[in-house]
Amino acid sequence: MASQAQTGQKAEIALNGRLPAIYKVDGTLLNDKATDYLKEKDIEVKKIVHTPFPQRDTVYITLKDRKLLTKILLATRLTVQQIAQQNVSGISKTSQIIFLLNDTLITQTAKLKISSLKVFNIKVLRATKTSYYTNFPDVTFLYIYTKPVPFYIR
């Protein structure tokens, strides 16, 4: 099977109002950060499937060495505090961050580590920017999504 894109190059899909691409490496769903770990020589086949609705593309990658996927999955694991430090600016030491993983409140964050390759999206919401949490000026909500946000057809 011939590749439709240059192998080893990151697919810049999230342009022109399209949703971010979904990446499947050897059948495993990963985010676009996984392609940073791949070199042209590691990829056997790369195929991009464009879909008009929803406007989200899928990038299928087959690796020459299946053990490389395991190495990628074992790559950097971050605590939720490290994710917050990288994505939330202007937080004072007295500020409270409430973590949500796939829209579920995380109550025990001490030992939780998430692979950076599994993080698809991060959304920061300050309590002062909402109409319902205005009494909590130093609270920030950090939404971490490890899978694409679902969409619904009505």
For residue range 102-126, list pLDDT tens digits in order: 889 998 887 888 877 678 888 888 8
In a domain, 129, yes or no: yes
- Quick one: tokens of 132? 């319902």
**Same-domain check for residues 134 and 90:** yes
**Is the pLDDT confidence value at 6 over 60?**
no
81 and 66: one domain?
no
Shared-domain flag, residues 68 and 128: no
Same domain, 25 and 46: yes
Q: What total number of domains does the chain contain? A: 2
Q: What is the pLDDT of residue 8?
A: 37
In a domain, 45, yes or no: yes
Q: Which of 45, 73, 101 is the last residue of a domain?
A: 73
Each residue's pLDDT tens digit, 25-71: 888 877 666 677 788 888 899 888 887 777 778 889 899 998 888 87
To 10 degrees, the CA torsion angle through 50, 101, 66, 74?
Answer: 140
The confidence score (pLDDT) of residue 135 equals: 78
**Is residue 55 domain-resident?**
yes
113 falls within a domain:
yes
Q: Write the pLDDT tens digit of every residue in 59-75.
A: 898 999 988 888 777 76
Report the chain's mean pLDDT, rounded to a whole number.
77
Q: Which structural domain range is residue 48 located in?
A: 19-73
Q: Own/partner pairs for 23-28, CB < 8 Å, 24+ apart?
A: 23/58, 23/59, 23/61, 24/58, 24/59, 24/60, 24/61, 25/61, 25/63, 25/69, 25/72, 26/61, 26/62, 26/63, 26/66, 26/69, 28/69, 28/73
Q: Which of 73, 88, 119 is the last residue of a domain?
A: 73
Task: Verify that 64 and 98 share a domain, yes or no.
Answer: no
CA distance 49 to 15: 15
Reduced to 3 states (helix: H, G, I; strand: E, B; else coil), residue 97 is strand
Confidence class for position 18, pLDDT limits 50, 70, 90: low
Contact yes or no for 102/145 (Cβ under 8 A) = yes
Which comes out higher in pLDDT, residue 136 or 1? 136
Residues 57 and 24 in one domain: yes
